[in-house]
Amino acid sequence: MDKKNFDVWKRVTLGTCGSADELLNSVANLGFKIGYGKSDPTKVAVRNMTLSQTETRIDLFREPISAFGFCVDTPYDKVWEEVKVSGFKLVPDETVFQIARQHPNTPMDEWSLMAMEPIMLVDYNSSLFAFAMVHGPVNGKVIWADHCTSGGIPCCIRSHQHIVFTRN
């Protein structure tokens, strides 16, 4: 499959919530868990993200990293760079929450990592995070902040995992 001819996976509208708390509450009301427990950084990351100020519709693409030529576990920053070099863009911070709000019937075992500018959390050893979502048999529907780096050490995306990016 040619990289420039990916099929649109979903369309979402950004900028539909006035605050991070409103976004979190709306997703929680749809049955999504936010993070994996008390020490999970997800809620802190949400409060550090940028929300769109105007309503904007974007097309989303969801592909395994192998679609960008990676066949082994690969650091986040290398995958993000290849997404951009291939003519696509990283998604805005709020994208994962808008997917959950506007497409709440996530299929079982669908795991998606947002190709986004990572959010740095000083309170978590200055680690970088990107949002991800899964609908699994044990924990149900969960949105969490996934490590892009941990204490300055790059973390890898597994070769079978899917990333979400845009062209807009």
Residue 115 has pLDDT above 50, yes or no: yes
Q: How many domains does the chain have?
A: 1
pTM as predicted: 0.91
- Specify the long-range contacts of residues 85-89, CB closer than 8 Å, at least 24 apart: 86/3, 86/4, 87/3, 87/4, 87/167, 88/61, 88/115, 88/165, 88/166, 88/167, 89/165, 89/166, 89/167, 89/168
The residue segments making up the domain with residue 40 are 3-166
pLDDT attached to residue 7:
94
Residues 36-75: pLDDT tens digits? Answer: 877 889 988 988 898 999 999 999 999 999 899 898 889 9
**Mean of all residue pLDDT scores within the chain:** 90
Q: What is the pLDDT of residues 117-126, one digit of tens each?
A: 999 998 888 8
CA 9, CA 114: separation in Å to the nearest integer? Answer: 13
How does pLDDT run across 80-110, given as a tens digit for each residue? 999 999 999 999 999 999 999 999 988 888 8
